[in-house]
Amino acid sequence: MKRKLILLALFVIPLATHAAATDKLKSFIAATHSAQANFTQEVLDKKGKRIQSSSGTMQFERPGKFRWEYRKPYEQLIVGDGKKFWMYDLDLNQVTVKKLDAALGSSPAALLSGNNEIERDFRLKDIEDRDSLEWLQATPKSAESTFEKILMAFNGKSELVVMELHDAFGHRTVLRFTDLKSNPSLPPQRFQFIPPKGSDVLGD
């Protein structure tokens, strides 16, 4: 569950424009070069019972660069440097590395780090508002996706504040974002990773 929790976190997308939710997503992809935010994450079972929770910070810079830092309840780090995907487990002092395309493929993470061709991999549609938020649904076109659908909710400022990832097992991962900043200047070092001395490196 620990690994699943971390990988799911890669799929966040903060947005900022005015229109229907699907139009906001498209406008964001076209206009936003970088972003950062705080996040909380909960994993719920098919009955809605919370089975895991975590929190931390995320940053990204297009194309293909991102950094997710989990700070509670344990420390883990995920970095995409544009070519490779790095996942560092501080408790185990273990690093997993993969080619970025192989790690992400046509997954929801493409919404965060990928290109502007979002409708190539996802079917988008606006759905009913709830909790005073505007919602859209993104359904993967690939049968190999681990997610059946992804829901995104926007507040009155056209910021993405909630994302729900629904998998084939009935689990739901809920991400909530605060203190979103669009197009901040981020130092290149944030998207670089060097395995710590003595760490166990697995993968490419």
Residues of the chain under the 70 pLDDT cut: 1-19, 102-117
Q: What is the mean pLDDT of the chain?
A: 82
- Give per-residue pLDDT as tens, 48-67: 999 999 999 999 888 888 89
Ordered structural domains, the chain, with CATH: 2-193 (2.50.20.10)
Q: Given this model, what pLDDT does residue 201 score?
A: 95
Burial per residue of 161-196, b for 16 or more beta-carbon CB atoms within 10 angstroms, e otherwise:
bbbbbbbeeebebbbbbeebebeeebeeebbebeee
Q: Given this model, what pLDDT does residue 92 score?
A: 92
Rounded CA separation 107/125 (Å) = 18
Q: Given this model, what pLDDT does residue 145 score?
A: 73
- Quick count: other Cβ atoms within 10 Å of Cβ 87? 23
Rounded CA separation 53/90 (Å) = 18
Q: Given this model, what pLDDT does residue 103 score?
A: 63
Q: Given this model, what pLDDT does residue 147 score?
A: 81
Residues 6+ apart with CB under 8 A from 92: 200
Q: Given this model, what pLDDT does residue 135 score?
A: 94
